[in-house]
Chain A
């Protein structure tokens, strides 16, 4: 019987199965950061247990770390304690790789893993972070877990799982100029809704997806969770294999050849059945801008803020009204009339080299508008930062009026000092526009890096296709 990619990944990891289908899945890669791990390490210690296989662990602090004045360390004492706790825990138990604060390879875990070749096709990848779905770009079974499960993986190298349903999201055709993976992700979420993927493992397929770079695929899989699916993945092809060649933790020599041979099998077989299939036409996808407090509240840049009066479901209507009130927006306002206060280019969604190149190509020779109080460019890792600097992108950002920062999660969730003040409006390349996400009272509009750059220049949302 033809198998889906999900079937293949699942079957390759089942250690044991209970009568009701609950399975014990073997975990290949465990990514660990400072926010969701301290209680797990403590629990392990209290129970007198040892980590099962420390060579599965890749770790770096990212959520709490500052993005400027690194010479001054971490000023917030509570943040500092959390980062120091990670430091102490990893130094005690060990890891395949640990990039502490200020290490040249430190960065956002979901950028660091892949760029070091620590994320390989066919792996199960888990992390106490919902955006672990990012690693699905490499045909991994990758998803976020809670802290109890972090402890469970540390102690047993396994997770208790029930098999998900499968969804194929096929995007066929060719994306238009200025339309990126982020726009595809937002358009998908706009179509299926933030709960559309609940209970499903999503495979992204179709010619437009195959045409994406690994960076683009990571952006897309990263946002699977915003569509409700814990995991989203893309089949292995030449793009995957070319990306992985010669990365620090990628296999070498004869083992590489063997690995590639296996990786080539990581795709859904012809005729494989999915529980649900959604199709989108690439040419129909426009640059997207969210207007509300859920990623599903999204429209094309040429559209206007929707009118709750036209929504028939009372719970949804009230949700829209509450969102508009929080966002300080009136129904039917054209998206391009909405002025912004801040711009954030970064996060595990959009902080890779290609994202920075896209933004820089829009910013080159232009300047941030006078009404924009702060424009931040935060590379996803030390390696991304140096690569960007080697290409001169830092100079483009700085000349345009952006601040060029050190890597980290930064204003995506504002656990460090980078945040919105109440009422401030931000064009952000991050993944969540929830109330208070970027700072209490802050108003987030999710966009692609190119669209964030276009908004920075115009001081309001603008159609990047008109400035490219």
Chain B
């Protein structure tokens, strides 16, 4: 996983509650057995006028001019600003893979669905929860300011606006360390291999029905 320390990125607004992972990456693209290449199909049903198929060349497909991420001013955005319950529904990690492949490295929302939130950390995406009032203010500023950028400073746990105003955010200490260092979870866990083995052996004796 790539390290995440500090990011200054263009912000794209997706002004909706309950953006589900089916919308982020529709099911037909889940047939891939790879982790990469989902970006061109991120938000496929909202982004294109036709129905996308896996393996298709997406460059010539008709785009929906009304979909916000198609607007020229948001091209190259790295920070996604959205509302409540982002990433609800299916546990598909293809959703963060698609967002990352699209270019997003940080997502700022009023709230996230639990599984999606978790999946972000496994891919070096920082999901940031801010109070509704801060989110509303950010939407207004992004709307009003072409080229609006935000700084996400993970070490300092703050989102810094162009006017210098810093908005603090919470993050679990363990997750923060993992992101800052780009640590591989599995490697970290295997440091406790001996402990896992001991636990397992005790379990095998006390609850043998679990080991049929």
Contacts and interface: CB of A to CB of B under 8 A. Distances in A.
A256 B207 CA distance: 10
A136 interface: no
Contacts of A440: 26, 45, 51
Contact of A249 (B89, B96, B199, B212): B212
Contacts of B190: 155-156
Contacts of B175: 22
Interface string A7-36: 000000001101110101010100000011
A15 B195 contact: yes
A369 interface: no
Contacts of A258: 208-209
A337 B113 CA distance: 34
Interface stretch (A121-129, A356-364, A388-396): A121-129
A195 B31 contact: no
Given A146-B119, A148-B93, A228 B85 contact: yes
Interface in A141-177: 143-149, 151-152, 155-158, 160, 162, 164
B172 interface: yes
Identify the interface centre among A24, A36, A195: most chain B CB within 10 Å of its CB.
A195
A42 B35 CA distance: 10
Given A145-B115, A146-B118, A148-B119, A42 B23 contact: no
Interface residues of A, number: 83
B209 A251 contact: yes
A26 B114 contact: no
B84 A195 contact: yes
B33 interface: yes
B89 A432 contact: yes
Interface in B1-59: 15-18, 20, 22-23, 26-28, 30-35, 45, 51, 54-55
B111 interface: yes
B23 A436 contact: yes
Contacts of A152: 185-186, 189
A415 B31 contact: yes
Interface string A232-276: 000000000000000001110001101100100000000000000
B18 A194 contact: yes
Contact of B114 (A20, A64, A76, A230): A230
A151 B199 contact: no
SS of A interface (majority)? loop
Contacts of B211: 55
A130 interface: yes
B186 A195 contact: no
A99 interface: no
A130 B173 contact: no
Interface stretch (A79-87, A347-355, A376-384, A452-460): A79-87
Contact of B185 (A148, A164, A199): A148
Contacts of B174: 18-20, 22, 160
A467 interface: no
B111 A195 contact: yes
A415 B192 CA distance: 39
A109 B188 CA distance: 30
Contacts of A145: 91, 115, 118
Nearest to B173: A20
Contacts of A315: 15-17, 83-84
Interface in B145-192: 172-175, 185-186, 189-190, 192
Identify the interface centre among A81, A226, A432, A434: most chain B CB within 10 Å of its CB.
A434
B199 A26 contact: yes
26 contacts: A24-B195, A26-B199, A35-B92, A36-B93, A39-B34, A78-B54, A82-B31, A128-B91, A144-B91, A146-B96, A146-B122, A149-B118, A149-B119, A152-B186, A158-B196, A160-B185, A164-B114, A194-B85, A195-B18, A198-B114, A199-B114, A251-B208, A315-B84, A432-B89, A435-B22, A436-B45
